[in-house]
Amino acid sequence: MFKGSIVALITPFKNNKLDEEKYISLIHHHISSGTKGLVPAGTTGESPTLNNNEHKKVIEIAIKESKGKIPVIAGTGSNSTEEAVELSKHAEKSGANGLLIVTPYYNKPTQEGLYQHYKLINDKVGIPIIIYNIPPRSVVDMSVDTMARLFELKNIVGVKDATADLNRVDEQLKKMGPEFIQLSGEDGTALEFNIRGGTGCISVSANVAAKLCAEFQEASLAKNNSNLLSKAKEINNKLMPLHKALFIESNPSPVKYAASLLNLSSEEVRLPLVKITEKTKQEVRKALKFADLI
């Protein structure tokens, strides 16, 4: 259903407003570059500082412009269950193919609280839901047992795993089986993630290396083909400095700077994020050159 290189879309700004022209251009760039899915209004899309209307608009535009060519997994998570339900219902009505819903941040819910949060959203919509488990940002970590309980519900189909613990791939595969979609949330560990049983990556780097990320995912998912696996390793080595450079400072400031060098977006971010330092810019430029992107 959802596999390969799926981009965690940045949201281009111009004078602190959504730059629709650049955003639409970015979407078509991904379609033509082989990207297998779009995630608008996620963390990389600066969802915490998008107002409600903007949040809905970036999802609507992604759906409209993709024209069904590639799936749209709308970022509709919130630490307010009521708000997550409202955003999720809007995304479904707008034509989204799926939802990416982050574990509630700041509230620090228990495992039962996590279960009830996702269950209520599940009960209010009729499209697939991907759990976004990212303890470094949300503080809470959904256990494999809680995930297994949720997988029994009609719409819960998988996880975007940003725990950076590769053993979780094995644990989740053993507990839920191969039908449970496992997408990496960490570009740097995506190769090993796929080798262990993952089916793709919701990628930050794909914003600026769409074609390379698509080729990498396609090759890394061909597990029984040694030639393609060698190609995946080669591309991975080429992209590794970029994966690292894009997280020297808080995401998405570095990737927006990288995108500005490729004329894909301005480097503008919203407070409390700020533009990256000159030192980080040098590292980003160096990584883009290493990957033959500039």
As annotated, the active-site residues are: 132, 160
Residue type at 75 in one-letter notation: G
Q: Tell me how far apart the alpha carbons of residues 211 and 194 are, in angstroms, rounded to a whole number.
A: 18
User: Within 13 Å and on the Cβ side, how many CA atoms surround 76?
Assistant: 34
Q: Which residues are 4's β-sheet partners?
A: 200
In the block, which residue shows the tokens 């339900």? 85
* Structural tokens at position 26: 């970015």
**Who contacts 113 (Cβ-Cβ below 8 Å, separation ≥6)?**
104, 107
Burial class (CB in 10 A: 0-12, 13-18, 19+), 286: middle
Helices (H), 125-165: 135-138, 144-151
Give the angle 125-127-131 at the CA atoms, nearest 5°.
90
- Measured CA to CA, the distance from residue 263 to residue 267 in angstroms comes to 10
Vertex 251 angle, CA 182 and 45, to 5°: 70
Q: Phi, psi (5° rounding) for residue 222?
A: -90, 75
